[in-house]
Amino acid sequence: MDRILQDKNSVAPYFVEAALACATARGLDAAPLRRKAGLDGVPPTGAPTGARVPVTTYGTLLRLLAQVMDDEFFGLDPRRMKIGTFSVICLLALGGRDLGRALDLACRGYNSVFDGMRVGVRRQGRLACLEVRPIAPGAPLALFAQETLMTYLHGLACWLVRRRIPIAAADIAHPAPPHAEEYRVLYSSTLRFGQDAARLWFDAALLALPVAQDARTAVTFLNRAPENFLVRYRNPDSYARRVAQMLDRQPPAAWPDFDAVARNLRCSPATLRRSLRQEGRPFQSIKDEMRRRMAEASLAAGTEPIPDLAARLGFAETSAFHRAFRKWTGMAPGAFRAASGKRLK
């Protein structure tokens, strides 16, 4: 559980390097920018597991880059997004009475600025998505442009309705990058790579939520940007957090069933199931996420035989663990261990 919370308050070194690359592409010296943002000593991409950058530090870097480049999108679009543009877009979104209309207005604002991409809200049955796609066919967007804009749009949506918008799935218009695991923290545990556009899918019913902000609260929001896009809204008393804390106190093989968890939380199973669904964290997904992280830590260390790991995680058969791990990560446990550069002695 501590690792999960740490990840949500930090980012991989990749994002620092990608942001600084935007500056060097415009002829700026990255060294003073790194020092001013407090990034001296930050490990490079590929550093050992656990080496991460605090969200506040990364947010300071993005704010500094926007100021020195006079571009709030860091040169990622052919047209410069001048300082103050995002504030105007936020205020424009406040003109929508509900989330759907507010996001439509925000997207209209972005599209009046961008020359290389288009953003929009698309409805498809019971789901809706925030979509980012290039204007010119065959001219794919830079990966960092997709990552940054999707994070900003989702953060804006969460702020507008004062609650976290659970992401059901994320589409990425690139093959899976080495830092793809980071997307499970930023977006969703369901990831689809190599898509024709970048999309964040969520429950379409949430578009009817009323906008709960105004021009006064926008001042505080904008003063804390972009850190608040990365951390977003989290409820420390949420059912998902309480369930995870309960499970974290005992080994997976001894985890209680759903009804027992509900009794321990002093609520009915129906109430717990409905609350977890509204929070975007079903009971099984909480268990899967915790087991996956335990499995990845063990496999990266390379000291525990896979059958023993499977049993410790509560799998009756090693083959069941293999199937589950492949579903979680797209890799077999042995392949993951090999990719981590570890071997059993």
Q: How far apart are CA 157 and CA 93, in angstroms?
A: 10
86 and 200 assigned to the same domain: yes
176 and 258 assigned to the same domain: no
83 and 129 assigned to the same domain: yes
CA distance readout (Å), 66 to 63, 71, 74, 84, 85 = 5, 5, 6, 10, 11
Q: Letter for the amino acid at 177?
A: P
Confidence class for position 251, pLDDT limits 50, 70, 90: very high
% of the chain exceeding 90 in pLDDT: 54
Q: In what order do the strands lie in the sheet with 127-134?
A: 117-124, 127-134, 198-203, 169-171, 191-192
Q: How far apart are CA 58 and CA 20, in angstroms?
A: 11
pLDDT at 80 over 90: yes
Give CA angle at 280 (263, 293), nearest 5°: 85
137 and 273 assigned to the same domain: no
Residue 16 belongs to a domain: no
Residue 148 belongs to a domain: yes
The residues, any chain, with a CB within 8 Å of residue 198's CB and separated by 6 or more, are: 131, 132, 133, 141, 146, 149, 150, 170, 171, 172, 173
Exposure of 97 by Cβ count < 10 A (0-12 exposed, 13-18 middle, 19+ buried)? exposed
Residue 37 belongs to a domain: no
State how many domains the chain has: 2
Residue 198 main-chain phi, psi, to 5 deg = -90, 130
Residue 41 belongs to a domain: no
207 and 84 assigned to the same domain: yes
Query: What is the per-residue pLDDT for 38?
Result: 87
175 and 278 assigned to the same domain: no
Q: How far apart are CA 213 and CA 210, in angstroms?
A: 9
Q: Which of 214, 231, 248 is the last residue of a domain?
A: 231
Confidence class for position 344, pLDDT limits 50, 70, 90: very low
Q: Which of 174, 207, 231 is the last residue of a domain?
A: 231
pLDDT at 286 over 50: yes
Query: What is the per-residue pLDDT for 342?
Result: 40
Question: Domain limits at 134?
Answer: 70-231
212 and 79 assigned to the same domain: yes
Question: Which CATH number is 293's domain given?
Answer: 1.10.10.60
- Mean pLDDT score across all residues of the chain: 86
Q: How far apart are CA 311 and CA 320, in angstroms?
A: 10
DSSP sequence for 144-199? HHHHHHHHHHHHHHHHHHTS----SEEE-SSPPPTTTTHHHHHT-S-EE-S-SSEE
Q: How far apart are CA 186 and CA 208, in angstroms?
A: 24
226 and 243 assigned to the same domain: no
Q: How far apart are CA 59 and CA 79, in angstroms?
A: 22
Is the pTM value of this prediction over 0.85?
no
Neighbours of 309 (CB within 10 A): 19
The token duo for 340 is 């981590």
137 and 75 assigned to the same domain: yes
142 and 227 assigned to the same domain: yes
The token duo for 278 is 């509204």
pLDDT tens for 149-174 read 999 999 999 999 888 888 889 999 99
198 and 270 assigned to the same domain: no
Q: Residues 169-198, buried b or exposed e (16+ Cβ, 10 A)?
A: bbbbbbeeeebebbbbbbbbbebeeeeebb
CA distance readout (Å), 278 to 14, 17, 208, 239, 274 = 32, 36, 14, 10, 6
145 and 187 assigned to the same domain: yes
Residue 74 belongs to a domain: yes
Chain-centroid distance of CA 99 in Å reads 20
Residue 17 belongs to a domain: no
Q: Which of 175, 200, 231 is the last residue of a domain?
A: 231
Least confident of 45-54, 59-68, 195-204, 306-315: 45-54
Average pLDDT value for residue range 71-96: 94
Residue 286 near residue 314 (C-beta atoms within 8 A): no
